[in-house]
Amino acid sequence: MAGRPVTRFAPSPTGLLHLGHAFSALTAAAQGDFHLRIEDIDRDRCRPEYEAAIFKDLAWLGLDWPRPVMRQSDRMPAYQDALARLAPLTYPCRCRRGDIRAALSAPQEGALPAGPDGLIYPGTCRHRDLRDAGPDDVIRLDAGRAFDALGLDSIGFTDQGRSHILTRQQFLAGIGDVVLSRRGMGTSYHLAVVVDDAAQGITLVTRGMDLFASTHIHVLLQHLLDLPTPAYLHHRLIRDTAGRRLAKRDDARAIRQYRSDGASPDDIRRMVGL
């Protein structure tokens, strides 16, 4: 890839940024021209005060980014457009989690197959037509038909120069018919992230290892929407002393808590091993 990569940090304003976010943002900034995107499609969980805190905490860490900042809640027309383009490969689904569990657990009990998006959807609604979509339905991608339409047996991406390939069969068994539009949302994380990474011209996506499996979904969507596949860097996760991943509810490890306790941005870098 010629030139300096274009990278991004894409937090959701559902809580205060913690050390894991600091590591993620600093990793993105170290790798290229740093962009910020606010992922606020989940209107019930996002709050303006958390968005304000993101700007403040990142600036305190010494980061800067082009303005205006892309905010996903402003981007619904772009997601609707992508969804319309994918329409021939999608179907409405009215199954709730309980229906999916019931369909999957027959005939035997036990651990149910799950992928990056939860249970592997058994295809109950796959025959349904989009024109019959109800207001409470989600929209799913028919992954089998998507691979057929592309004429591909596998998809892949590179992570730090290493290539990762997933076959059609592995995708269908391990990921399945993902949701492209959630109930009442008009889009999903996967669809929005793919449309926006392309719109922001991101050439290197840096994010946590926890999203590695989701990247296969994103690459399939990039193929279907004729968008370039960026390079990827899935970084290690910052854990607490008990070895657990940090979560937004861990306010004790919020960047601003450290700041008010007198830590400097360099202290934060050291704490995350940079």
In the complex, the residues that contact ligand GLU under the rule CB under 6 A are 10-12, 39, 193, 207, 211
Which of residues 139 and 202 has its CB atom nearest to ligand GLU in the complex? Answer: 202
Q: Are the CB atoms for 99 and 68 separated by under 8 Å?
A: no
Report residue 169 as tokens.
């069969």
Could you tell me if 180 and 190 are in contact, meaning their C-beta atoms sit under 8 angstroms apart? yes
Q: Which is nearer to ligand GLU, 11 or 92 (CB)?
A: 11
Q: Which residue has the tokens 């609604």?
A: 125
CB of 216 to ligand GLU, least distance (A): 13
CB of 257 to ligand GLU, least distance (A): 19
Q: How far apart are CA 125 and CA 121, in angstroms?
A: 9
Whole-number minimum distance, CB 254 to ligand GLU, in Å?
15
Please say whether the beta carbons of 25 and 58 come within 8 A: yes
Q: Residue 96 Cβ, how far from ligand GLU at the closest point, in Å?
A: 24
**Of residues 17 and 100, the one with the C-beta less far from ligand GLU:** 17
- Please state, in angstroms and rounded to a whole number, the distance separating the CA atoms of residues 80 and 193: 13
For ligand GLU, give the closer residue by CB, 180 or 193: 193
